[in-house]
A = this chain, B = another copy of it.
């Protein structure tokens, strides 16, 4: 249900697995994040994703549990890649199945918003032979506000 891995993933395969787990699903929402090929410093050729093995998985479990407490979900899959990833590669998948679309949309966006601000991953961008640690964005922290009232 939650994986942290170097290998790429196949959205179609993951959704098919998710569907098998339950017949009552009516709504599937999925998010896929890709490595963007530009930054303010120039063209990005690749990124490298560092993580904190003992903590990252625990952190994702907690985020998913929060989502499951808030919305009636029927299935869920989170995959986050780590290591060296070229531009346009897939980084992250969050797929949520539920009976009705609202729960699936809300839970998927909730998980992404928390993942972006709480899960210990750090991204370094390779640009013109140099590398730069990506700075956290204030908008990611602001995105949490909508879940906190």
Instruction: Identify A37's interface contact among B23, B27, B36, B37, CB under 8 A.
Output: B23
Closest to A112 in B: B101
- A23–B104 Cα gap in the complex (Å)? 27
Q: 1/0 per residue A33-61: CB within 8 Å of B? A: 11111100000000000000000000000
- B residues in contact with A35, CB < 8 Å: 26
Q: Do residues A105 and B102 form an inter-chain contact, with CB atoms below 8 A?
A: no
Contacts A11-B12, A11-B15, A12-B10 given; does A33 touch B29 at CB 8 Å: no
Secondary structure dominating the interface of A: mixed
Contacts A15-B11, A143-B102 given; does A25 touch B34 at CB 8 Å: yes
Is A117's CB within 8 Å of the partner chain B? no
Is A125's CB within 8 Å of the partner chain B? no
- A10–B143 Cα gap in the complex (Å)? 32
Instruction: Identify A38's interface contact among B11, B24, B31, B37, CB under 8 A.
Output: B24
Instruction: Identify A12's interface contact among B12, B25, B31, B109, CB under 8 A.
Output: B12
- B residues in contact with A109, CB < 8 Å: 101, 105
- A38–B24 Cα gap in the complex (Å)? 8
Is A108's CB within 8 Å of the partner chain B? yes
Is A32's CB within 8 Å of the partner chain B? yes
